[in-house]
């Protein structure tokens, strides 16, 4: 017999007051709560009436409400900014019916190992906005570093300061089409003729959860495209993995590097794009 | 080909609209008043004796009615395999064993007022185990120092078949003909290879379920997701001591079987609890329980050694199989038999042949019936082995197969040598269009333009591979089916069959056979299937038997009804029998043109003269088992940097005799093929070092979905099986045999590496590519 | 707890446990056409439309579906008056065991409402969360194409 108490607040303040109670957590779409079980919880705060489900672009900044589903974000972006890596990533995540329930807020509160949000968050320099006890804005590293930030707080939206006009590539390593990824590779780049202006590369799913390949980024930034041929990208893209059902640590590490190289070439060169 | 009116037409599956509208009912959908629920406790250890079991905490929990386990519920030894009686599977298990033999074995069943109460109490059952040495490697099962799983518990085989518990041998099949020594001595070269197949699950989307309740006379009614309702009644009666006449088993709609429900599991526990408390009881497995508490495909090690002459003739073939039956021997002997009997007749010109097969126990999940039933495992090895030999000879694989495969009018020694728990039955092949299948498939896949071309797009290389196979149509002289029918006053017919439609479409096929025989539209056949009270007996939905065996029973029954209709029409019209013909629900006197409707005939018989109801029954047992044949082709793209294999296109070409319903035939082939592709590439049980399955969920046991489909092409080749109902043979299983070897052969074609063990994971393929380039 | 559920156009007052899923509640209250295949959000047999969106009802807490519009396959057509998608599935041979069929039909409905003339790629993508073990999906895809043709020619 579950005794968990449901709350359906109409305002943020009300929601936050409930979240201050013992063993009480927010409910977005419910997918991760159902997976982990709610037997030990005492309260669930449903967010559906808070109006956190809008997506807007103002002054080049994309703000996506925490209540938006992956499917909703992917659909909106597919119409507005089809090349945006966030839409590509979330639109490929899980399955159609799951994407209609997984919310940005739920995903950002846990960033599970198989998250399709974490890679785009990392390369887009996404920011997590919260209200409540630890209300504020947090970048991904500081958010991941301190899980206690979530206590008594509510994620209200994710901000992406510079989300569009990138060359982008998103790769998810899966065994079949509908699978959680063993790793993901997110790449953003801007170039000016044959010069690489900016490049950001993130690999998720390894021992570090998400890792920016900063050394590789530094070598590429400002360089001529010809650098791609001279660098040992696979070596520089080496990321450590644990064992997963999809393969051994060595194998995953090796093919993640292959996908980084392919993604970079696809983004930066015509030859890579055609494949 | 004969001109049919109902047979051979893509008439709509008779139950499909009710399924599409959600009005059809599956086992778990049956509403019962105030049921109790069952939940199970499972062994966490792979091998051990239960030293003590403390159910006091569980019994004290809210809603708990009872806790059943080995210390309060003793039964005789039996097998859960739903087969003919006595079963060819060993009697080696009890409802609750005091010695557990794999991680995931049922150790207790909790009966409670709600499912969550039952589950909570099941988690509170405390069991103390004295661990025993474990055996996980089937190839070591017969070693002297390996633990014997069933040596001390009195396990036995109810039929006179090989069974040696002390050696962990659950079944053994041996046969030989010709002179092996001479055969190998005559060879110019010998190829000796070992292949291994893996543990996989059926993944029927409906999890196993059973509901037990009582009718107004106090008889026990079991509604169950079963492929074998009659075997289920027999086994429940035997194991629980409930008189069979007090049990009725009803099969509602079934959400897929593929062999998984040819097993009597939940029926037993539900009946046990219901009978004891005279209460309604529901039992339903969760998905994770289906993976480990239900059955699996038996993994197999297949060693093939073949002697070949440079002219391409084969001088000898020696096949040696070790099959892992897991903790208990369900279907052990018969799946093993089929790995030989369905595979070796394919190349029937080999004069010297030897087969040694052993099914052995291990402390891993229990094997069982699974679409393909041993042939799938055997053909994985056979087709790759022959592909390699053809390559070594420098001949095209398809030409090589065509030179060797069995043909119409021919036989094989193997048919006689291997049966299923008995000797085999010799037979002559009366229909075989395998060469046509090969030619049509080769054209559809583009064999001549793609084979051996290794077309590369960057690191991705294309390859083409093929595989052939045959299956059977029922177990000859074992499988038996019955049908009965009666004619109603409006000229419609009730058809009662024991045959069990588990989604295959057998209700439709059998209705078509009767409609064709009686010249009535399909909607005038009202079929009721699989209810042990209402329908006659049938062994069940397995061994690709329903179309051929049950179909013949329906055909024979319909012919009896037809002759009764004729004789009533004679009486009514005074016409000479030779001038009467059947035409669209009427009998026509060709001499006068006078027409008598079926309705008038039925009414005349029922109400007017020498009154009786036109009705009949018939049974049928096949004296042979004509095999369907299939050629399957894969086009794959192999990524040489990641080892990923993408099946781009897949072609299946089958000979199933006259297809009674072409759409259903295609559906069987397509479903089996996709299951086979998924089996080859992504499906697998992953065990930890203690023998526990670690991926018992759809999140980590990966099935193919719509995003993974290759371009699929299915071709049915016209053929006519003279012994089959309207020329039909089976089609349900065969399509699963070819995908794994065809894909493996295609990988070889692309990158020159042979993968000897399933599944063909990217990591394995990449490793093989590396080993080849490094070596 | 108690709540009101709007299923197939009818409002129902149901009592349920606070941790019950929408699937639990629908099945317990006369909607066995919603099937339980895995209870883990993968097989899709339990799919329903919630506010017009395809969801796995096993992954939705019933409490969160109160007062919302829920559609099951029984709500789009009946055996006496089937919906064109239902007849398309039947005629294409897309129904074998039928366990996945109600969900696949709802996935098709969700797709065609949004996109009446989908490409094959869009069909495959819209049904990516609906497992079928019987058909190999071939005839399901054909059924969606047929339904799309029929429904757009009726518009």
My answer on whether B541 and B682 are in the same domain is no
| Whether residue B86 has a cis bond before it, omega within 30° of 0 | yes
> Which residues does chain B have within 8 Å of residue C45's beta carbon, measured at their own beta carbons?
205
My answer on whether B108 and B225 are in the same domain is yes
DSSP label at residue B555 = H
My answer on whether B254 and B265 are in the same domain is yes
My answer on whether C44 and C7 are in the same domain is yes
My answer on whether A130 and A186 are in the same domain is no
Q: Do A95 and C1 touch (CB under 8 A)?
A: no
pLDDT tens for each residue of B562-595: 999 999 999 999 999 999 999 999 999 999 999 9
Give the span between the Cα atoms of B566 and B413, in whole angstroms. 45
pLDDT band of residue A187 (cuts 50, 70, 90) is: very high
pLDDT tens for each residue of A72-110: 999 999 999 999 999 999 999 999 999 999 999 999 998
Q: Is residue B199 part of a domain?
A: no
The number of beta carbons lying within 10 Å of the beta carbon of residue A197 is: 12
> Which residues does chain B have within 8 Å of residue C145's beta carbon, measured at their own beta carbons?
none
> Which residues does chain A have within 8 Å of residue B679's beta carbon, measured at their own beta carbons?
none
Structure tokens at B123: 């988690």
pLDDT tens for each residue of A24-34: 999 999 999 99
Residue B387 burial (CB < 10 Å; 0-12/13-18/19+)?
buried
Residue B166 burial (CB < 10 Å; 0-12/13-18/19+)?
exposed
Nearest 5°: phi and psi at B179? -125, 100
Mean residue pLDDT across chain B: 97
My answer on whether C51 and C115 are in the same domain is no
Q: Are B757 and B195 contacting, i.e. CB atoms less than 8 angstroms apart? A: yes
Residue B432 burial (CB < 10 Å; 0-12/13-18/19+)?
buried
Q: Do B13 and C134 touch (CB under 8 A)?
A: no
Mutate to test the interface with B, among C58, C73, C97, C108 (most CBs of B within 10 A): C97
Nearest 5°: phi and psi at B399? -65, -40
Structure tokens at B192: 């000796």
Q: Is residue B460 part of a domain?
A: yes
Q: For chain B, percent helix, then strand, then coil, each to nearest 5?
A: 30, 25, 40
> Which residues does chain B have within 8 Å of residue A31's beta carbon, measured at their own beta carbons?
none
Residue A209 burial (CB < 10 Å; 0-12/13-18/19+)?
middle
Q: Is residue B188 part of a domain?
A: no
| pLDDT (average), residues C37-56 | 98
Q: Which of B423, B414, B562 shows the shortest CA–CA distance to B487? A: B562
My answer on whether A59 and A41 are in the same domain is no
My answer on whether B671 and B704 are in the same domain is yes
Domain endpoint, select from B284, B304, B320? B284
Give the span between the Cα atoms of C123 and C139, in whole angstroms. 12
Mutate to test the interface with B, among A175, A185, A248, A275 (most CBs of B within 10 A): A175
Q: How far apart, in Å, do the first and last CA atoms of chain B sit?
A: 57
My answer on whether B567 and B690 are in the same domain is no
> Which residues does chain C have within 8 Å of residue A1's beta carbon, measured at their own beta carbons?
17
| pLDDT (average), residues A174-182 | 97
Structural domain containing residue B464:
296-475+624-774
DSSP label at residue B371 = T
**Which CATH number fits the domain that encloses residue C53?**
3.10.20.30
Position A275 scores a pLDDT of 42
Position B775 scores a pLDDT of 63
**Which CATH number fits the domain that encloses residue B213?**
3.90.1170.50
Counting the structural domains of chain C, the total is 2
Q: How far is B641 from chain A (nearest CA, A)?
A: 7
> Which residues does chain B have within 8 Å of residue C32's beta carbon, measured at their own beta carbons?
22, 25-26, 28-29, 31
Q: Is residue B20 part of a domain?
A: no
Domain endpoint, select from B249, B284, B319? B284
Q: Which residues of A239-256 are buried (b: 16+ CB within 10 A; e: fewer)?
A: bebeebbbbeeebbbbbb
DSSP label at residue A259 = H
Nearest CA in chain A to C60: A30
pLDDT tens for each residue of B470-503: 999 999 999 999 999 999 999 999 999 999 999 9
H or E element: which one contains A212?
Answer: strand A210-212
Structural domain containing residue A25:
5-46
Coil/strand/helix, residue B699: coil
My answer on whether B333 and B230 are in the same domain is no
Share of chain A above pLDDT 70, in %: 98
Q: Is residue B585 part of a domain?
A: yes
Write down the H helix ranges in A95-244.
Answer: 96-99, 104-110, 118-123, 140-145, 214-220, 227-230, 233-236
Q: CA triplet B58, B690, B208: central angle to 5 degrees?
A: 55
Q: CA triplet B296, B300, B303: central angle to 5 degrees?
A: 170
The number of beta carbons lying within 10 Å of the beta carbon of residue A27 is: 24
pLDDT tens for each residue of B502-554: 999 999 999 999 999 999 999 999 999 999 999 999 999 999 999 999 999 99
Structure tokens at B507: 């209700």
**Which CATH number fits the domain that encloses residue B533?**
3.30.365.10
Domain endpoint, select from A160, A177, A212? A160
Q: Is residue B52 part of a domain?
A: yes
My answer on whether B445 and B347 are in the same domain is yes
Out of A29, A38, A178, the one facing C128 most closely (by C-beta) is: A178
Q: Do C64 and A27 touch (CB under 8 A)?
A: yes
Domain endpoint, select from C26, C52, C75? C75
pLDDT band of residue C154 (cuts 50, 70, 90) is: low
Q: Is residue A114 pLDDT above 90, yes or no?
A: no
Q: Do B707 and C45 touch (CB under 8 A)?
A: no
Counting the structural domains of chain A, the total is 3
Give the span between the Cα atoms of A95 and B294, in whole angstroms. 27
Q: Which residues pair with B164 in a beta bridge?
A: B169
| pLDDT (average), residues C72-84 | 97
Give the span between the Cα atoms of B148 and B146, in whole angstroms. 6
Domain endpoint, select from A160, A175, A200? A160
Q: Do A175 and B642 touch (CB under 8 A)?
A: no
Q: Hey, CA dihedral for B420, B422, B426, B427, is it positive or negative? A: negative
My answer on whether C88 and C67 are in the same domain is no
Mean residue pLDDT across chain C: 97
My answer on whether B256 and B362 are in the same domain is no
Structure tokens at B137: 């490697």
My answer on whether B262 and B321 are in the same domain is no
My answer on whether A233 and A208 are in the same domain is yes
Mutate to test the interface with B, among A181, A244, A255 (most CBs of B within 10 A): A255
Nearest CA in chain C to B29: C32
Structure tokens at C23: 């699937």
- Size of chain C in residues: 155
Q: How far apart, in Å, do the first and last CA atoms of chain A sit?
A: 55
Give the span between the Cα atoms of B392 and B355, in whole angstroms. 24
My answer on whether C130 and C88 are in the same domain is yes
Q: Which of C47, C37, C39, C34 shows the shortest CA–CA distance to C108? A: C47
Position A274 scores a pLDDT of 45
Q: Are A27 and A9 contacting, i.e. CB atoms less than 8 angstroms apart? A: no
Structural domain containing residue C138:
84-154
My answer on whether B664 and B728 are in the same domain is yes
My answer on whether B390 and B529 are in the same domain is no
My answer on whether A175 and A142 are in the same domain is no
pLDDT tens for each residue of B268-299: 999 999 999 999 999 999 999 999 999 999 99
My answer on whether B239 and B319 are in the same domain is no
* A interface residues, B as partner, C-beta within 8 Å: 1, 95, 175-180, 245, 247-248, 251, 255, 258-259, 275
Domain endpoint, select from C26, C48, C75? C75
> Residues near B595 by Cβ (< 8 Å), separated by ≥ 6?
B583, B586, B587, B588, B589
My answer on whether A60 and A146 are in the same domain is yes
My answer on whether A92 and A183 are in the same domain is no
> Residues near B667 by Cβ (< 8 Å), separated by ≥ 6?
B505, C93, C96, C134, C135, C139
């Amino acid at each position: 017999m579950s005794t968990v108490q449901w709350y359906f607040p109409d305002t943020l303040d009300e929601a936050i007051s409930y979240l201050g109670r013992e063993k009480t957590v927010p409910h977005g779409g419910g997918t991760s709560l159902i997976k982990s079980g709610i037997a030990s919880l005492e309260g669930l705060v449903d967010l559906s009436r808070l109006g956190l489900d809008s997506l807007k672009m103002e002054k080049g900044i994309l703000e996506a409400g925490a209540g938006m589903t992956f499917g909703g974000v992917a659909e909106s972006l597919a119409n507005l900014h089809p090349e945006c890596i966030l839409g590509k990533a979330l639109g490929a995540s899980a399955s159609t019916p799951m994407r209609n329930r997984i919310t940005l807020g739920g995903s950002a509160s846990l960033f599970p190992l198989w998250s399709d949000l974490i890679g785009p968050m990392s390369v887009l320099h996404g920011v997590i906005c919260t209200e409540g006890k630890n209300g504020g804005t947090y970048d991904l590293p500081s958010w991941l570093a301190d899980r206690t930030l979530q206590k008594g707080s509510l994620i209200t939206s994710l901000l992406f300061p510079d989300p569009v006009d990138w060359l982008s590539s998103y790769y998810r390593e899966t065994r079949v089409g509908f699978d959680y990824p063993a790793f993901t590779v997110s790449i953003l780049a801007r170039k000016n003729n044959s010069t690489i202006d900016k490049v950001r590369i993130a690999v998720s799913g390894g021992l570090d959860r998400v890792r920016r390949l900063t050394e590789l980024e530094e070598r590429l930034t400002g360089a001529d495209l010809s650098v791609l041929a001279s660098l040992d990208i696979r070596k520089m893209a080496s990321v450590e993995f644990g064992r997963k059902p999809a393969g051994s640590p060595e194998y995953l590490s090796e093919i993640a590097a292959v996908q980084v190289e392919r993604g970079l070439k696809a983004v930066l060169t015509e030859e890579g794009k055609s494949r | 080909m004969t001109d049919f009116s109902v047979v051979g037409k893509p008439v709509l599956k008779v139950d499909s609209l009710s399924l599409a509208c959600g009005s059809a009912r599956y086992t778990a959908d049956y509403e019962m008043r105030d049921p109790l629920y069952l939940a199970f406790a499972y062994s966490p250890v792979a091998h051990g004796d239960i030293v003590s079991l403390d159910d006091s905490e569980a019994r004290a929990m809210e809603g708990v009615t009872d806790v059943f386990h080995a210390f309060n519920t003793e039964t005789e030894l039996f097998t859960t395999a739903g087969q003919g009686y006595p079963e060819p599977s060993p009697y080696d298990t009890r409802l609750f064993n005091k010695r557990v033999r794999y991680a995931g074995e049922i150790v207790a069943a909790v009966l409670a007022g709600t499912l969550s109460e039952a589950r909570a109490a099941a988690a509170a059952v405390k069991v103390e185990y004295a661990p025993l040495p474990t055996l996980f490697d089937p190839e070591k099962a017969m070693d002297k120092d390996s633990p014997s799983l069933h040596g001390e518990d009195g396990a036995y085989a109810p039929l006179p078949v090989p069974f040696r518990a002390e050696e962990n041998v659950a079944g053994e099949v041996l046969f030989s003909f010709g002179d092996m020594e001479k055969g190998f001595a005559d060879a110019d070269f010998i190829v000796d290879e070992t292949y291994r197949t893996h543990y996989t699950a059926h993944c029927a989307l409906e999890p196993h379920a059973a509901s037990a309740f009582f009718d107004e006379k106090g008889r026990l009614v079991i509604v169950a997701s079963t492929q074998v309702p009659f075997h289920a009644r027999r086994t429940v009666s035997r194991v629980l001591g409930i008189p069979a006449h007090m049990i009725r088993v009803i099969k509602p709609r079934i959400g897929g079987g593929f062999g998984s429900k040819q097993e009597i599991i939940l029926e037993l526990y539900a009946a046990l609890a219901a009978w004891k408390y005279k209460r309604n009881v529901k039992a339903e497995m969760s998905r994770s329980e289906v993976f480990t508490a239900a059955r699996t495909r038996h993994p197999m090690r297949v060693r093939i050694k073949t002697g070949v002459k440079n002219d391409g003739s084969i001088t000898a073939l020696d096949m040696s199989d070790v099959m892992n039956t897991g903790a208990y021997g369900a279907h052990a002997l018969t799946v093993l038999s089929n790995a030989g009997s369905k595979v070796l007749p394919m190349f029937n010109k080999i004069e010297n042949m030897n087969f040694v097969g052993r099914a052995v126990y291990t402390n891993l999940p229990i094997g069982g019936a699974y679409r393909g039933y041993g042939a799938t495992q055997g053909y994985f090895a056979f087709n790759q082995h022959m592909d390699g030999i053809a390559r070594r000879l420098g001949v095209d694989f398809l030409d090589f197969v065509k030179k060797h495969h069995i043909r119409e009018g021919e036989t094989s020694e193997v048919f006689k040598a291997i049966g299923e728990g008995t000797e085999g039955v010799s037979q002559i092949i009366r229909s075989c269009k395998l060469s046509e299948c090969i030619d049509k498939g080769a054209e559809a896949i583009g064999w001549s333009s793609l084979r051996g071309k290794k077309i590369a797009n960057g690191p991705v290389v294309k390859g083409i591979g093929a595989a052939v196979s045959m299956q059977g149509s029922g177990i000859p002289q074992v499988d038996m089916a019955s049908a009965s029918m009666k004619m109603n006053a409006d000229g419609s017919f009730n058809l009662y069959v024991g045959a069990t439609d588990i989604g295959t479409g057998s209700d439709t096929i059998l209705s078509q056979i009767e409609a064709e025989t009686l010249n009535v539209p399909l909607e005038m056949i009202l079929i009721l299937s699989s209810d042990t009270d209402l329908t006659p007996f049938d062994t069940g939905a397995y061994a690709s038997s329903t179309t051929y065996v049950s179909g013949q029973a329906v055909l024979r029954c319909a012919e009896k009804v037809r002759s009764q209709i004729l004789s009533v029409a004679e009486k009514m019209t005074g016409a000479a029998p030779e001038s009467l013909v059947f035409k669209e629900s009427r009998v026509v006197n060709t001499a006068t043109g006078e027409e008598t409707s079926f309705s008038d005939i039925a009414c005349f018989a029922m109400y007017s003269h020498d009154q009786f109801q036109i009705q009949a029954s018939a049974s049928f047992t096949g004296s042979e088992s004509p095999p369907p044949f299939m050629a399957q082709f894969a086009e794959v793209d192999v990524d040489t940097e990641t080892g990923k294999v993408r099946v781009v296109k897949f072609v299946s070409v089958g000979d199933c005799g006259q297809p009674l319903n072409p759409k259903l035939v295609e559906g069987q082939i397509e479903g089996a093929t996709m299951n086979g592709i998924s089996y080859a590439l992504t499906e697998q049980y992953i065990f930890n070092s203690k023998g526990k399955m670690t991926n018992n969920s759809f999140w980590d046991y990966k099935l193919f979905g719509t995003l993974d489909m290759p371009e699929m092409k299915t071709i049915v080749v016209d053929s006519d099986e003279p012994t089959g109902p309207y020329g039909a043979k089976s089609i349900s299983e065969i399509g699963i045999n070819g995908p794994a070897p065809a894909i493996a052969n295609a990988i070889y074609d692309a990158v020159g590496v042979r993968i000897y063990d399933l599944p063909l994971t990217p990591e394995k393929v990449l490793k093989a590519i590396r080993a080849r380039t490094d070596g | 707890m108690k709540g009101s559920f709007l299923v197939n156009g009818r409002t129902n007052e149901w009592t349920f446990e606070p941790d019950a899923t929408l699937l639990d509640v629908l099945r317990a209250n006369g909607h066995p056409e919603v099937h339980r295949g895995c209870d883990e959000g993968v097989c899709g047999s339990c799919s329903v439309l919630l506010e017009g969106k395809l969801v796995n009802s096993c992954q939705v807490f019933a409490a969160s579906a109160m007062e919302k519009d829920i559609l099951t396959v029984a709500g789009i057509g009946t055996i006496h008056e089937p919906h064109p998608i239902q007849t398309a599935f039947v005629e294409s041979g897309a129904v074998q065991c039928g366990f996945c069929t109600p969900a696949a039909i709802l996935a098709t409905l969700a797709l065609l409402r949004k996109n009446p003339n989908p490409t094959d790629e869009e069909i495959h993508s819209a049904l990516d969360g609906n497992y079928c073990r019987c058909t190999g999906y071939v005839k399901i895809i054909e059924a969606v194409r047929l339904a799309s043709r029929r429904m757009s020619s009726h518009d």
